């Protein structure tokens, strides 16, 4: 099997009809396998209309091609818990991208561009559509873990903290090509929509595997919360984006997220109840978010000092 074949593509259509238990079983087997090994898979027939995906890519490209003066009209408002609106990565970071962050459609923190005029409607539709796909994935992941189908839905029951980011990666130069440095996502489940340029890579067994773009496909990765709840049964995917010479890249990342006041710890089902030690200390999600934010605002000089979920690891 070549590396390119290693990231499974899962057909979610069986979950949109009653019956087809065989199809559901096959899909769950693939997802279980992917989540147990490296936390990454792709999905087709995921419920997000292909036409909406295409329009979303178009409006994002149009927006990011505007001069800074226009983009800065969507600068974040003060008082927002996260900088919803237009941002460019600070110079001190190796990551070379600009992005537009948004909370769910009705959030008063959102600062969405009025130009192009269809931007708001398209991204709000995309956001709502991603939520539905994430809810389906959450139920599938719960079942794959052997939990009640609505377990994660109950745990993660506040939809005010989901985030979507439209990203624009600049072209690589002769000397630098970092788009998004190696990381894991801190949330539960991430859904990615990438364009045809490529550059997204996932790490498996110390090797970087490119996630080759395929029209109509969405990429799913497991985040730190699921890794902790499952006591490492499911892996939070390590991934990065490498920029391409001569090509700008556009993507959307949707973070299905937990509310900040929630406590997170390994579930007894995966630890004490089965005679295994919990691999993580209990933590408040907002504390972890603050530490991750500090990595960005005050990046440590050594990459090994960046705080990630191992900060809460219990040494055995």
Sheet strand arrangement including 218-222: 9-11, 40-44, 218-222, 189-194, 249-256, 163-169, 97-102, 85-88
The distance from CA 98 to its chain's CA centroid, rounded to whole angstroms, is 16
Q: Which among ligand AKG, Fe ion, none contacts residue 162 (Cβ within 5 to 8 A by kind)?
A: none
Looking at the Cβ atoms of 147 and 309, the one nearer to ligand AKG is: 309
* Rounded least distance, CB 255 to Fe ion, Å: 8
Residues that bind ligand AKG (rule: CB under 6 A) add up to a total of: 11
- Give the one entry of Fe ion, ligand AKG, none that residue 192 binds, where binding means its C-beta sits below a cut-off of 5 to 8 angstroms depending on kind: ligand AKG
Residue 241's binding partner, choosing from ligand AKG, Fe ion, none, with beta-carbon cut-off 5 to 8 A by kind?
A: ligand AKG
User: Residue 126 phi/psi, 5° resolution?
Assistant: -65, -45
Backbone angles phi, psi at 261, to 5 degrees: -85, 5
101's CB contacts (< 8 A; 6+ apart) are 76, 82, 83, 84, 85, 87, 163, 164, 165
- In the list 74, 180, 238, 271, the residue contacting ligand AKG (rule: CB under 6 A) is 180
Confirm or reject binding of residue 42 to ligand AKG (CB under 6 A). Answer: no
Of 250-269, binders to ligand AKG (CB under 6 A) are 251, 253
Note whether 200 binds ligand AKG by CB under 6 A. Answer: yes
Q: Is 7 a binder of ligand AKG (CB under 6 A)?
A: no
Q: Which stretch binds ligand AKG (CB under 6 A): 56-64, 192-200, 256-264, 306-314?
A: 192-200
Q: CA–CA separation, 177 vs 180, rounded Å?
A: 9
Cα of 283 vs its chain's centroid, Å: 21
Tokens standing for residue 17: 């009809």
Q: Does 187 bind ligand AKG (CB under 6 A)?
A: no
Q: Which of 222, 241, 242, 264 binds ligand AKG (CB under 6 A)?
A: 241
Q: Is 233 in the site for ligand AKG (CB under 6 A)?
A: no
What is the smallest separation between the CB atom of 223 and ligand AKG, expressed in angstroms?
9
Q: Is 222 in the site for ligand AKG (CB under 6 A)?
A: no
Site string for ligand AKG, 123-162 (x = CB under 6 A): ----------------------------------------
Whole-angstrom Cα distance, residue 292 to residue 175?
27
Instruction: In angstroms, give the least distance from the CB of 120 to ligand AKG.
Output: 21
Binding site for Fe ion (CB under 5 A): 185
Burial 9-29 (b: 16+ CB within 10 A, else e): ebebebbeeeeeeeebeebbe
CB burial of residue 106 (10 Å; 0-12, 13-18, 19+):
exposed
Q: Contact between 238 and ligand AKG (CB under 6 A)?
A: no
Q: Three-state DSSP class for 189?
A: strand
- The interface partner of residue 307, options being Fe ion, ligand AKG, none and the CB cut-off 5 to 8 Å by kind, is none
Residue closer to ligand AKG (CB basis): 180 or 230: 180
Q: Is 35 in the site for ligand AKG (CB under 6 A)?
A: no
Nearest residue (CB) to ligand AKG, 129 versus 236:
236
Q: Which of 246, 193, 200 is nearest to 59 (CA)?
A: 193
Q: How far apart are the C-alpha atoms of 229 and 160, rounded to whole Å?
A: 21
Query: In 3-state terms, what secondary structure has residue 138?
Result: helix
Binding site for ligand AKG (CB under 6 A): 165, 167, 180, 185, 192, 194, 200, 239, 241, 251, 253
């Amino acid at each position: 099997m070549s590396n390119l074949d290693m990231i499974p593509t899962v057909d979610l259509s069986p979950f949109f009809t009653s019956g087809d238990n065989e199809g559901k079983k096959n899909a769950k087997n693939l997802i279980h396998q992917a989540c147990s090994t490296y936390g990454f898979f792709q999905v087709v027939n995921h419920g997000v209309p292909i036409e909406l995906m295409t329009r979303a890519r178009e409006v994002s490209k149009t927006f990011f091609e505007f001069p800074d003066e226009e983009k800065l009209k969507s600068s974040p408002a003060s008082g927002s818990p996260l900088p919803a609106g237009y941002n460019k990565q600070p110079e001190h970071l190796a990551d070379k991208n600009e992005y537009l962050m948004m909370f769910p459609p009705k959030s008063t923190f959102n600062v969405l561009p009025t130009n192009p005029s269809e931007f708001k409607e398209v991204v709000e539709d995309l956001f709502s559509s991603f939520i539905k796909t994430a809810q389906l994935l959450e139920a599938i992941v719960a079942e794959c873990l052997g939990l009640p189908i609505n377990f994660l839905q109950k745990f993660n029951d506040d939809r005010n903290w989901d985030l979507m980011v439209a990203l624009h990666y600049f072209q690589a130069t002769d000397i630098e090509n970092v788009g998004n440095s190696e990381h894991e996502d801190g949330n539960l489940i991430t859904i990615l929509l990438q364009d045809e340029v490529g550059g997204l890579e996932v790490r498996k067994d110390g090797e970087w595997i490119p996630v080759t773009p395929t029209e109509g496909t969405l990429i799913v990765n497991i985040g730190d919360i699921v890794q902790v709840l499952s006591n490492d049964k499911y892996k939070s995917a390590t991934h990065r984006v490498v920029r391409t010479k001569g090509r700008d890249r556009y993507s959307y990342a949707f973070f299905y997220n937990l509310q900040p006041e929630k406590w997170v710890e390994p579930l007894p089902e995966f630890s004490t109840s089965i005679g295994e030690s919990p691999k993580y200390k209990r933590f408040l999600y907002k504390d972890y978010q603050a530490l991750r934010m500090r990595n960005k605002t005050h990046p440590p000089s050594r990459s090994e000092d960046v705080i990630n979920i191992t900060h809460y690891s219990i040494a055995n």
